[in-house]
Structure 1
Amino acid sequence: MVATADSSAPDRPPSISDTADGADLARFGYQPVLHRKLGRYASFAAGFSFVSILTTIFQFFGFGFSFGGAAFFWTWPVVFAGQFLVALNFAELAARYPISGCIYQWSRRLAGELVGWFAGWMMIIAQIVTAAAAAIALQVVLPTIWSGFQLIGSNSDLTSRSGATNAVLLGSILLVVTTVINVIGIDWMARINSLGVTIEIIGVCAVIAVFFTHADRGPGVVLHTAGAAPGPYWAAFLVSGLMAAYVMVGFDSAGELSEETRNPRQVAPRTILTALTVSGLGGGLILLGALMAAPSLTDGSLSSGGLAYVIEAKLDSPAGKVVLACVACAITVCTLAIQTAGSRLMFSMARDRRLPFAKQLAAVHPRFGTPVWPAVTIGALGIALLVLNLGNAAIFATLASVCIVMLYVAYLLVTVPLLLRRIKGWPADAANTETGAPLFALGRYGIPVNALAVVWGIAMAINLAWPRAAVYTPTGGGWWMLWAAPLFVLATVLVGVVVHRMVTPGRTLAAEPAIQPA
């Protein structure tokens, strides 16, 4: 039996209980206390803004090029293919379990309370780190638009001490803003996020158009390995894949917001796949266009300046600043989407009394219809993480590597149990919604697609966590920085063991039937 929402949560709006979606949620044992206001585009926007190709490619284009040269482009289709395998499995689960906190909910229904709890715990920590990593991306853009945004020192480069410190300040301010937006209601969050995504899509199209109409070389540039890091190219190629791996995560956000989405059984699976596909296509064109349009591939400017360098070289100052302003909007809604998804996951676990201070974290504001304390908690912890890294010149690479390793591990705690259930016959039938429409299903391709997704996830987690001095200690540092990713995962697990023992009651939540009657 699924634990019900905390009895202290405010009464839900009377109209929600009368809807088919509210009745559908009640079958899982939960009261529909969140406001169901998201349509198809808002659901898509949640996943797309989490991936946020403008944000993440601006962050890591220079990193990828500096290791793999122009041929690092091929990491993009490789990572997209692997993540699409994961997304296909998530789409199938989203259709059957339209519940907030999807990674936790999916995992515990497939493998039981213990595995589900650790999947949720790892995902919460990953989202806190990811929110912090996304927020500091403002440093890549704002000082370029106007030097006045460089409030500390004069060197805006993130690899410099003053640049990294200023990034912490700007990121902290952004997290305060996104926390306020998350508190005042899902409708405001959806409006701002959808507007931001629309601006980002326009910005993506504009950047692609500029690059392809101002190209200095042909598409054959993606076959060049000149300028790659010393040593065998395959090793440099694996490191450069960090950029694509960091970009293509978070597409499951549509599932995190299922209880606030209308007709989530049909909408969430489609928007999960659409968000990743649109991101994959748009990001690939940006990478190709930038490599074709860059004034030089050999003078070091592309490695240090990234996309900003290409845009400034190809556009006059006002037009270039408009494009960079679109990037700043993308960073804002990316941080907002990550924090929203994390707060819904925290709310979902607290509702099952699976976190400390569960009563407070499960409470929903009677007017705003939002879980206020989870949003505040994620914002505060994200700022604390930034302050902890104050002055760390490798903050970008360190936070990004740690958060994607955590995300990949959390995803594995869903795909591995799902594969085991598939081998035993999951799903037993093609469940239908109340309207009679069939749910998204992989059918006979389920086991091979799932198995490949598991292999992919394990391989990438190992690759991303591998202690490489060029990634974690580019300017020198202690051994603990070099082993930051595996140490952080280990610390998260150890702390998780303590927390789990604190919050686990005598009666545990058992794994549930794989198919929820519709």
Structure 2
Amino acid sequence: MTVSSPAASAPDRPPVRLRAGALSLTASVVIGVASAGPAYSLTATLGLVVLAVGWQAPIVALLAFVPMLLVAIAYRELNAAEPDPGTTFVWATRAFGPLVGWLNGWAIVIADLLVMASLAQVSAQYTFLFCGADGIGSRPDDPRVLLLGLGYIVAMTWVAVRGITLSARLQAVLLTVEFVMLVVFAVVALIRVALGDGTATPELSWFNPLAIGSFSTFVDALLLMVFIYWGWDSVMSTNEETKDPRRTPGRSAIIATITLVGLYVLVTVAAQAFAGIGTDSGGLADPEHVDDILGALGSAVFGDSTIGTIAVHLLLLMVLTSAAASTQTTILPTSRTTYSMALHGALPARYGAVDPRYRTPVVSTVVFGVASILLYLVLSALSGRWGSTESPIVDAVSACGIGIGIYYGCTGLACAWLYRNRLRDSVRDFLMRGLLPTLGGAMLLFAAGWTAVTEWPSPVFLLGVGGMLAGLPIYFRLSRTMPPYFRGETLARQLPGPAEAVRE
């Protein structure tokens, strides 16, 4: 497969490139796991899943892992051929043309943008809760929460600008606190269950998907669980800055997803065995804390002794660090996607500018940070006047699932299409480059479509589908003002050959 390299056919690249070789395998895995924000995702999602499927929450957590693993395989195979920080944008363009490719890049931006307000808000709330200011931390609409949330976005944007090495070191510290406390929480909860202080003994029946009442309920719960895995693809967006960029990001993605499924199933089983699934008396489906499970269960699990109080504060710190870490790692893939889009002529060249000192895509990073601040302000201003039982920030989190399903799903299909002429070469090629990516991609595209249809005409539909459609006027305007990419001239419709590798 021989085509002209993207570097040669795209508009002139800036003289300064991202810092190559800055991330090791360990650092890459850390970014992948931290990007999913395990503690933040669990505390915000687990109660809603239990509310939908009851005792079957563990099997939903396990099954949601399947399409993620299959798509991670697609990412690994495509990255091995072309380690471009634009990931899905580049691969979907090569497979399906400029319109599909550009909209997939836009989907990454929209999904990451929609979740930023929630991440900043949770970071701010848990900072106040950690400091003992429960009256402020329990009120997401408090102006002080808004101001501190904005401060978190500014701070994490600054860290992202300062360099990928600093970002990775910060993530390692934050993830250590998060991972250790999640395991400690689960182990202590299971010990108390074994001592008779829990609600139920873990059973194999919790892993029976046929016990879920309806297919619609199952899909809705599965979509919620898919969200908690989202983020591991950040390791692909930082491939240009990773040692051995063709292999390390792919290995990191697989390791990250496997790590997440083990952690999620453990915590899910422990939490529902300890608290039960009731809608009152502290059950996981209790409306009082259905969207803040870990915060609500901390005192119950650890008790009110001195050690228990310390553990509760560490649990609060865990959720705080999880949301803060995810805020920072959400900035990384978005800025590198728009950086790559600029290099290939799909966005104005200024988005490809790299800071000569820190070797980061400074314009793309700062613009995304500013956009996140503006959206957070708008969504906060709409609180109380929102046409939904949920807040606009909660609806924005649900809406980002549409963008996630689109670009993950298209990556799976792009892998099978771009490797279509090699699928008969071996059983491995047929499975790893054809069948499995196609299944994973189809599942996630179905999930995105299901969300769009079932949420019509709710605010979730408006934010998710509306956000995607908002990219079309931008696409058509850019196609007139800077046409080479949009005519298919900068990215050929096939993967580049080995001799045409992206510079490593």
Q: Does structure 2 retain, via aligned residues, the 8 Å contact 1:142–1:149?
A: no
Which residue is equivalent to 1:497? 476
User: Quick one: which of 183, 193, 199 aligns to 2:171?
Assistant: 193
Give the Cα separation in 2 of the matches to 1:339 and 1:57: 21
C-alpha contact 2:416 2:435 (8 A) present in aligned 1: no
> What is the alpha-carbon distance in structure 1 between the residues aligned to residue 104 and residue 491 of structure 2?
15
* One of 313, 333, 337 as aligned partner of 1:345: 337
Aligned partner of 1:378 in structure 2 is 368
CA contact (8 A) 2:96 2:414 kept: yes
Partner AA of 2:375 in structure 1: L
Cross-structure match for 1:366: 356
CA distance in structure 1 between the partners assigned to 2:23 and 2:394 by the alignment: 34
Check if 1:294 corresponds to 2:275.
yes
C-alpha spacing 1:185/1:354, structure 2 compared with 1 (3 Å): same
AA aligned to 1:41 is T
1:280 aligned residue: 261
Match of 1:124 in 2: 109
Contact 2:77–2:433, Cα closer than 8 Å, also in 1? no
AA of the residue aligned to 2:121: I
Aligned residues: CA RMSD = 3.0
Contact 1:47 1:275 in 2 (8 A): yes
Structure 1 position 454 matched with structure 2 position 441: yes
Write the mapping of 1:33-432 to structure 2, written as runs, cut at 5 A: 33-138=18-123, 141-148=126-133, 151=136, 155-156=138-139, 162=141, 168-215=146-193, 216=198, 217-220=200-203, 223=206, 233-294=214-275, 297-299=278-280, 301=282, 302-303=284-285, 304-305=288-289, 306-315=293-302, 316-356=308-348, 358=349, 360-390=350-380, 391=383, 392=386, 393-425=390-422
Q: d(CA) in 2 for partners of 1:235 and 1:129?
A: 25
Instruction: Give the superposition deviation at 1:414.
Output: 2.3
**What code does the residue aligned with 2:377 have?**
V
Deviation at 1:80, TM superposition (A): 0.5
Among 6, 14, 30, which residue is 1:9 paired with? 14
Quote the residue 1:438 is aligned against.
none
Provide closer, same or farther for how the CA distance between residues 405 and 464 of structure 1 changes in structure 2, counting only shifts above 3 A.
Answer: same
Q: 1:271 to 1:207 in 2, by over 3 A?
A: same
Bigger mean CA deviation after superposition, 38-47 or 104-113: 104-113
Please tell me whether the aligned partners of residues 222 and 288 of structure 1 are also in contact (alpha carbons under 8 angstroms).
Answer: no
Distance, in Å, in 2 between the alignment partners of 1:450 and 1:481 is: 28
Contact 1:42–1:190 (Cα < 8 Å) also in 2: yes
Q: Aligned pair in 2 of structure 1 residues 496, 213: CA closer, same or farther (>3 Å)? A: farther
Report SS of the residue matched to 1:409. Answer: helix
Deviates more, 1:125-134 or 1:420-429: 420-429
**Whole-Å separation in 2 of the counterparts to 1:353 and 1:338:** 23
Q: Which moves more between the two structures, 89-98 or 447-456?
A: 447-456
Larger mean CA deviation between 377-386 and 193-202 belongs to: 193-202
Q: 1:448 to 1:134 in 2, by over 3 A?
A: same
Deviates more, 1:235-244 or 1:405-414: 235-244
The AA in structure 2 aligned to 1:219 is P
Q: Which residue of 1 aligns with 2:451?
A: 464
Larger CA deviation: 106-115 vs 279-288 = 106-115
**Counterpart Cα distance in 2 of 1:224 and 1:344:** 39
Instruction: Evaluate the alpha carbon distance shift between residue 487 and residue 221 of structure 1 in structure 2; reply closer, same or farther with a 3 A threshold.
Output: farther
**Stretches of structure 1 lacking an aligned partner (at least 5 in a row):** 12-31, 431-440, 470-477
Q: Looking at both structures, which has the greater relative contact order when contacts are Cα pairs under 8 Å and sequence separation is at least 6?
A: 2
One-letter code of the match for 1:329? Answer: T
SS in 2 for 1:354: coil
Q: 1:220 to 1:132 in 2, by over 3 A?
A: same
Q: What residue in structure 2 maps to residue 516 of structure 1?
A: 497
Give the count of matched residue pairs: 467
Matches of 1:57 and 1:174, distance apart in 2: 21
C-alpha change, 1:243 and 1:221, in structure 2 (3 Å) is farther
**How far apart, in 1, do the equivalents of 2:431 and 2:177 lie?**
40
1:484-510 deviation line (CA, Å, top 9, x unaligned): 433333333444333444433367224
Distance in 2, matches of 1:94 and 1:149, equals: 46
Q: 2:372, 2:80 → 1: CA distance?
A: 31
The residue number in structure 2 matching 1:24 is: none
Question: Are the counterparts in 2 of residues 112 and 509 from structure 1 also a CA contact under 8 Å?
Answer: no
| Counterpart-to-counterpart distance in 2, 1:296 and 1:112 | 47
**Contact 1:71–1:221 at 8 Å: present in 2 too?**
no
After superposition, the Cα gap between the structure-2 partners of 1:279 and 1:501, relative to the gap in structure 1 and judged at 3 Å, is farther
SS of 2:498's partner is coil
Q: In the alignment, residue 358 of structure 2 is paired with which amino acid?
A: F
Q: Percent identity?
A: 22
For the 8 Å contact 1:9–1:364, the answer to whether it is kept is: yes
* 1:101–1:345 Cα contact (<8 Å) kept: yes
For 1:219, what is the secondary structure of its paired residue?
A: coil
SS in 2 for 1:389: helix
Deviation at 1:338, TM superposition (A): 1.1
Query: TM-score with structure 1 length normalisation?
Result: 0.82
Shift of 1:174: 1.3
Distance of 2:461 and 2:98 partners within structure 1: 34
Question: Which residue identity does 1:425 align to in structure 2?
Answer: R
Partner of 1:435: none
Name the CA shift for 1:33/1:330 in 2 (closer, same or farther; >3 Å). Answer: closer
Who is 1:436 aligned against? none
CA deviation after TM superposition for structure 1 residue 331, in Å: 1.4
SS in 2 for 1:136: helix
In structure 1, give the amino acid aligned to 2:202: P
The 1:148/1:282 distance shift into structure 2, 3 A limit, reads: same
1:426, CA displacement in angstroms?
5.5
Alpha-carbon separation, structure 1, partners of 2:482 and 2:452: 30
Q: Is the 8 A contact 1:178 1:336 kept in 2?
A: yes
CA distance in 2, matches of 1:421, 1:197: 36
Give the aligned residue type for 2:68. Answer: Q
Return the alpha-carbon distance in structure 2 between the equivalents of residues 205 and 53 of structure 1: 11
Deviation for aligned residue 1:332? 1.1
CA distance in 2, matches of 1:70, 1:166: 38
Instruction: Letter of the 2:257 partner, please give it.
Output: L
